[in-house]
Structure 1
Amino acid sequence: MKLILTAAAALALTGTAALADAHAQTIRMGTEGAYAPYNFLNDAGEVDGFEIELGNELCARAELTCEWVTNEWDSIIPNLTSGNYDTIMAGMSITDERDEVIDFTQNYFPPAASAYVAMSEDADLEGGVIAAQTNTIQAGFVAESGATLLEFATYDETIAAVRNGEADAVFADKDALLPTVEESAGELMVVGDDVPLGGGVGMGLRESDTELKETFDAIITEMKADGSLNALIVKWFGDDAKVYE
């Protein structure tokens, strides 16, 4: 389906520069910096990844000054609501539970699959120990699946738990797991069936920041319509990545 820039979206776009001028806004963009390829720290110690490039483009089109702030995942929503930064771009899936606490833009990454990764094809996914990052939709799914959930603060710790035998498998976004599997040189493998979860990845904002949400929503709509968002998705996730039609 071809996406059309609506009159309302166009109006929001035309007001973007006025928004920046009126408030002289510096927008603090919160991210984790530990969930490649969505976001990570590069060799220079700088935040990098799909969401960083996308966020910088959103800010450029909105004529806003944006600064990146890293925050641990397990406190990333409380630190948004307390005002430590203004947005979250951290591979965060849109869920009803989170939407009760914060607001979301439309998704900028379409609903995608979650998957299991293990060191053996025979890993027990139904009754074994499954590692997942805390406060994720994957952790919630495992908790209700009948398997034993082993939660960790970071994605890297979930992978380490599989490698050192603490967990039979890890359950996470497939797009994050595939590069890890490829880099493992056969040590790790995708097992079981993919599991669709969530409503796609969106930018989190405080519920009171309606004008800022409308600004970014309009630009995301524009980027979907002009193909630039799909280009970024393919750049960071590969030619087989799910894109917007």
Structure 2
Amino acid sequence: MLNVLKTLFLGASARAEEQLTDHFAIDLIEQKIRESENALSLAKTTLAALIIRQRNEQTTLTRLDTQVADLEDRARQALGAGREDLAADAASAIADLENERAVRRDTLAQLANRVARTQQAVEKAHRRIIDLRQGMISARAADAERKAQKSLNRSIGSNASIREAEELIGRVLNGPDPFVESEVLDEIDAGLSGTDIRDHLGQAGFGAKTKVDASDVLKRIKASSTTA
């Protein structure tokens, strides 16, 4: 029983976390981009420090090369002058400089390797952050579209409401014409009162016509024209 309740609780918590993540997705993306930019800034600072150290080591190594070359030249001059003691002192100093130079060369090689790896990491992170920013633009547009659709759904209601409104509009537009309906009602009333029968009999010559028609008007005009 406890295991079942624990599983249900974990499932509910996972769903709640997913819903919360979806709701604040844009804010979370922005925060992750800021964290990535901060990390990139620290990496750039580290790279700058390594490059400065690399340059200092190179400067020191160049100075050691110059010192060794100068002492070797002076030692040769001392030997040429018969001052082997001075040449020996120069040789001892040269040995120390060469040992230091070897260490400096190893350090410089290690620094060059670290600079290359750090620079590659910085460039990779920079490209990924650019991609994140582009993705952020797309995510914002998609989120705005989703929110607009939800707002639209809340404004116009469900699809059932839309269909009902469309059906009501159709009923109004396709309803009976009131003028035609009025004419039909007049015909019905005439039939009920017998007026239409009297009209038919009058038109057939049985009794006086109940209405003047075009033939009557034409006969009157012809008669007046003949008299004139």
State if a TM-score over 0.5 links the two structures. no
Q: For this structure pair, what is the TM-score category when the shorter chain's length is used for normalisation?
A: under 0.3
TM-score by length of 2: 0.17
Pick the structure with greater CA Rg: 2
Normalized per residue, the structure richer in helix is: 2
Relative contact order (alpha carbons < 8 A, sep ≥ 6): 1 or 2 greater? 1
Normalized per residue, the structure richer in strand is: 1
